[in-house]
Amino acid sequence: MKAIPLTAKHATCTCAASSPLERKKGKAPSRKKSKGYYAKVKSGGTGSKAGGGMTAKGVAKYRKDNPGSKLKTAVTTPPSKLKKGSKAAKRRKAFCARSKSWKSERGRAARRKWNC
């Protein structure tokens, strides 16, 4: 493939600076696990003791940083205690269906937390 010579038009172009890799990121909320916004993944344990996913503190901070957000914490209530067809039961069922293919340690922990 031949190299295309640069013309005066290309010399002043700012296309290269606006590439996705070079663009400066906006002020997204921190996703650092060290700040306590994500539960630690623990081997063993079930349900809420398992870890995985965002903590209540993390969700609260995310909602504060993103007004209008509808992010919610995990439905950790055992399925037997949920009323069939309730909002929580539907959220749990949808999450479990969506996350069936998650095979990483963190994904498995999140599925345990949601009682999938």
pLDDT value at residue 64: 92
Q: Cα separation of 83 and 90, whole Å?
A: 10
- Reported pTM: 0.58
Per-residue model confidence as pLDDT tens digits over 1-18: 566 665 655 555 555 555
Half-sphere exposure of 62 (CA within 13 A, CB side): 18
The DSSP bridge partners found for residue 74 are none
Detail the DSSP E strand segments found in 1-116.
none
Distance CA 34, CA 45 (A): 21
User: What Rg value do the Cα atoms of the chain yield, rounded?
Assistant: 22
Report pLDDT digits (tens) over 49-90: 556 778 888 889 999 999 999 999 889 899 999 999 999 999
- 54 phi/psi in degrees, rounded to 5: -85, 145
Q: pLDDT tens for residues 29-58? A: 665 655 667 767 666 665 445 567 788 888
